[in-house]
Structure 1
Amino acid sequence: MHLSADRRCRPLSFVLTPGQAGDSPQFRAVLERIKIRLLVGRPRTRPAAVAADKAYSSRANRVYLRRRRIKAVIPEKSDQAAHRKKRGSRGGRPVNHDPELYKQRNAAERCINRIREWRGLAFRFDKTPDSYLAGLYLRGTILWVRSLRST
């Protein structure tokens, strides 16, 4: 399961994949499923910034974010930094990210913990992907409703 979450630990989108699927190839699919409906107008599909861990650090992901005018808050992997330095001036600029925004990256981890408070989702009792995804959407809806009541 791959998900995106806002700063208040509410899920924004889910992508269900097999357990052995890598994180970075799912980055684009997760971001493309974000749709936040406001009171008027079209749904928002572009966050201002995306904070992710080093597993999502790739040139393709950074190009995708830059093309959509989304600020990338993703630290660079040490092997990528070494390769870039080895290439010299052809390696490009060093990656910079806002360390204050990066501190809020754990919102996605906390969102996963809130989702897994449901035992059926934590231990994957549902045998089919469709029923598991339905449980994820139900739990995500409950988290959103509770957050709206508390404000």
Structure 2
Amino acid sequence: MFIYKDILGNRVTVYFEAQEEHPDDVLIIPKTKDGWLFTEHKIRGLEFPGGKGEHGETNLDAAKRELLEETGAISDEFHFVADYLVESKERTFTKRVYTAKVLSIKTQVDYLETKGPVILQGDLGKFILQPAFSFFMRDAGMSEIVKQAERIWDSKN
């Protein structure tokens, strides 16, 4: 478990074991044969794909849908990374984080609130600290989550 305050002053708790049966949101850390896959949010910058689950949708279904909508990527291999709880005055929610092996990326006409996929090769932990990345990506909790995702992929190779 890792506890910290994010840039907005919210208390955030990161759990490396599943905490909720059905968290509110999902986040996906996708890996392709060429590197790590990000999406470019139209306002916030580079970040991992993710979002809110729809009514009646499982977290895994939401992860598959968000990955496709925001990047055009398809995966059938998802691994649990973490659950994190954000406690704010506006909205308290839990987000389930997965890492996914990308099988293919299809070009789409519309990537919704993003500009589409961006693949970067190299050290994931160093990428997310760069100014081009969303402020959500550059906090202490995301650094811990990324380390866990990298450990998962190291164990798969």
Q: Could you tell me the TM-score, scaled by structure 1's length? A: 0.25
Give the structure with the higher percent strand: 2
Structure with larger RCO (C-alpha < 8 A, sep 6+): 2
Higher Cα radius of gyration: 1
Higher fraction of helix: 1
